[in-house]
Amino acid sequence: MTVSRAISSLDWRGAADAPPGDLVLRQARVLDPRAGVDAPHDVVIRDGRIAELAAPGSAAIAGAEVIEAEGLHAVPAFFDPHVHLRTPGREDKEDIETGTRAAAAGGYCGVLAMANTEPPIDTPAAIESLRERAGDDASVPTGFLATVTRGMQGSELTDMAELADAGAAGFSDDGLPIRNARVMRRALQYQALANRQIALHEEDPELSGGGVMHEGKVSAVLGMAGVPSVSESTMIARDVALASYEGARIHVQHLSARESIAVVAAAKQAGVAITCEATPHHLALTDEAVRSLEARFKMNPPLRTDEDRLALVEAVRSGVVDCIATDHAPHTSDEKEVPFEQAAMGVTGLETAFAAIHTALVVPGLLDLAIVVERMSSGAAAFGFELPALAPDAEANVTLLDLESEWEPGADGWESRSSNSCFSGRKLQGRPLITVAAGRVAYRRRSFAMGVAP
C-alpha cells in the first residue's frame, strides 16, 4: 500500500450534503495519542476539517454551533474494519442504514463491511450496487470488501483487480477460512496486483469439527463439542508462511487464542507484513459465560479462557494486536433463542465496543485509555485509509466521549436491527455523545443539549 486514502473517499450519504457548518467543541479534553495530545482545547471544525485546537474558551464562535464539552473527551473517531451489514439478502437482521446508524452511535467514523452476504459479494456489479446504496443510506463512510473466492466456495479466485477497480475496499471470505493452501497462495499473488488488503478468518475446519464453544474445562463440564485453540493458530501459521514466501501482506481477523498471539508476534519479529485485530468480546469475556447456556455468548471464534483473554489484553497493549474490531454480527432472535448448540454464531458490537472495553479494562486499570483510543481507530491503516487525527487541517473525524456516563446496553433499545449483544443487561461506563464523521455530525445523543452562538 503506497498512498493512504481519506476516510471520506468511502461511500455515505453525508458526502452529498451541502457543506457542513462550523462546529466548536468547547473546552474538551483532547486526547489524540498518535499526535501526543492530551490537554483541554477548543476543537474548531470548519468546512469539515479541524481548523485549530485553540486554548480552552478562546475560540471565535460567531455563527458556529457550540458544544459545551468541558469534562468530556474529544478523541479521534473510531474505525471498524470488520462488520457484517447483512446486505444483500438478510435485511431482516441488518441493513446499511441500521448498521451504520449503530456504528455512528458507537463513535465510529467509518466501517468496512464483510462480503459473506446472500449472495456473497464477488462481482464488480455487486460492489457498485452496494456503494450506490451506501451513498443513499449510510450514516458513516462505509467500505465493502469483496470475496477472495467465487461464491466463497474456496476453489476459484474472484477477479480481484476488477473488483478493486470497482471500489472494493479489500478482500475476505470471512465466515469461512480459505482451506486450500494453493488457492490461498494464488490469492496472495493477485492481491499484490489489486493493491488491497486481504482479511483472514483463520480456522481449520477439520480441527473445529462441530465445535460450538472453546475446547477446555468448561466445554468438558457442559459436555459440549469444543473448538480447540490450535484450530486458529495452525491456520495463522500456514498463512504467515505463505505471506512470507510471497512477500505479501495479510490481516488476521478476530484473534482469540494465546497460541495465535505467539504466532503473530513471531511473524512480526521476522518482518512479515501482518496486522491483526481483537474484538471487545474476546477482550472482556471468557468461556465461563457459556455456563449460562445463553446463545448470546456463542460466536466464532469462541470466547476462550481467562489466560487467553489476558494475553490478548497484553497484546493490545504491546501492539502485537494492531486494532480493535467488533465483528458486529447481527442475528434475528429466532436464530438465537434456541438451545445453545443450535444457535447461530455471532454477536452485535458496534454500539457497545468502547463502553465494554472501557468498563472491563480501562476502569480497573488493565489498559490505558490512550492505548484503547489509539487501537479503536488504527484498523483504518491496515486497509490503507488515513488515520483519524485531531490535528489542524485533518479531515474532522471526532468522537466526544462521556467517560462517567453509566448505562445499560439495550435498555433504551438499539440502533441496530438486531439485539444479540453479549453485553446487554450489564452496567457499562463510558459512552459516545457526538460522532463527527468526515466533517459532519453523524450522531448525537438525544438527551445531549447544545446551542448555536449568536
Catalytic residues: 327
Q: What's the N-to-C CA distance of the chain in angstroms?
A: 46
Q: Is 117 or 191 the residue whose CB approaches Zn ion more closely?
A: 117
Q: For the window 401-430, what string marks contact with Zn ion as x by the rule CB under 5 A?
A: ------------------------------
Rounded to a whole number of angstroms, the minimum distance from the CB of residue 216 to Zn ion is 20
| Residues 132-191 within binding reach of Zn ion (CB under 5 A) | 174
> Which stretch, 217-225, 309-317, 327-335, 374-382, contacts Zn ion (CB under 5 A)?
327-335
Rounded to a whole number of angstroms, the minimum distance from the CB of residue 300 to Zn ion is 6
Q: Is 216 or 301 the residue whose CB approaches Zn ion more closely?
A: 301
Burial class (CB in 10 A: 0-12, 13-18, 19+), 454: exposed
Residue ranges of alpha helices (H) inside 69-203 are: 96-105, 124-137, 160-165, 181-194
Sign of the Cα pseudo-torsion (426, 365, 375, 404, in order): positive
> Which stretch, 51-59, 85-93, 324-332, 416-424, contacts Zn ion (CB under 5 A)?
324-332
Rounded to a whole number of angstroms, the minimum distance from the CB of residue 200 to Zn ion is 9
Q: Is 80 or 174 the residue whose CB approaches Zn ion more closely?
A: 174
Q: For the window 281-320, what string marks contact with Zn ion as x by the rule CB under 5 A?
A: ----------------------------------------
HEC string for 341-384: HHCCCCCCCCCCHHHHHHHHHHCCCCCCHHHHHHHHHCHHHHCC
Integer Cα distance of 258 and 261 in angstroms = 5
Integer Cα distance of 82 and 366 in angstroms = 24
Residue 327 engages Zn ion in binding (rule: CB under 5 A): yes
- Cell, residue 189: 499473488
Rounded to a whole number of angstroms, the minimum distance from the CB of residue 250 to Zn ion is 14
CA angle 47, 24, 395 (to 5 degrees): 40
> Which stretch, 70-78, 105-113, 325-333, 400-408, contacts Zn ion (CB under 5 A)?
325-333
Q: Are 142 and 429 in contact (CB under 8 A)?
A: no
Integer Cα distance of 208 and 44 in angstroms = 51
Q: Are 20 and 92 in contact (CB under 8 A)?
A: no
Q: Are 101 and 446 in contact (CB under 8 A)?
A: no
Q: For the window 266-285, what string marks contact with Zn ion as x by the rule CB under 5 A?
A: --------------------
Task: Tell me the C-alpha to C-alpha distance, in Å, between residue 360 and each of 181, 240, 314, 401, 428.
Answer: 38, 31, 14, 17, 9
Rounded to a whole number of angstroms, the minimum distance from the CB of residue 172 to Zn ion is 8
Q: Is 112 or 367 the residue whose CB approaches Zn ion more closely?
A: 112
Q: Which of 90, 201, 298, 358 binds Zn ion (CB under 5 A)?
A: 201
Rounded to a whole number of angstroms, the minimum distance from the CB of residue 9 to Zn ion is 23
Longest Cα–Cα distance of the chain, Å, equals 67
> Which stretch, 72-80, 164-172, 200-208, 263-271, contacts Zn ion (CB under 5 A)?
200-208
Residue 335 engages Zn ion in binding (rule: CB under 5 A): no
> Which stretch, 195-203, 261-269, 377-385, 442-450, contacts Zn ion (CB under 5 A)?
195-203
Q: Is 351 or 395 the residue whose CB approaches Zn ion more closely?
A: 351
Q: Is 102 or 362 the residue whose CB approaches Zn ion more closely?
A: 102
Integer Cα distance of 115 and 326 in angstroms = 16
Rounded to a whole number of angstroms, the minimum distance from the CB of residue 345 to Zn ion is 9
Rounded to a whole number of angstroms, the minimum distance from the CB of residue 203 to Zn ion is 8
Q: Is 94 or 174 the residue whose CB approaches Zn ion more closely?
A: 174
Site size toward Zn ion (CB under 5 A) is 3
Rounded to a whole number of angstroms, the minimum distance from the CB of residue 82 to Zn ion is 6
Integer Cα distance of 192 and 432 in angstroms = 38
Sign of the Cα pseudo-torsion (75, 79, 84, 89, in order): positive
> Which stretch, 30-38, 42-50, 101-109, 194-202, contacts Zn ion (CB under 5 A)?
194-202
Q: Is 97 or 327 the residue whose CB approaches Zn ion more closely?
A: 327
Count of C-beta atoms within a 10 Å radius of residue 167: 17
Burial class (CB in 10 A: 0-12, 13-18, 19+), 108: buried
Q: List CB contacts of 149: < 8 A, sequence separation 6 or more.
A: 122, 155, 156, 157, 158, 173, 178, 183, 187
Q: Is 89 or 425 the residue whose CB approaches Zn ion more closely?
A: 89
- Cell, residue 342: 443450535
Q: Which residues bind Zn ion (CB under 5 A)?
A: 174, 201, 327
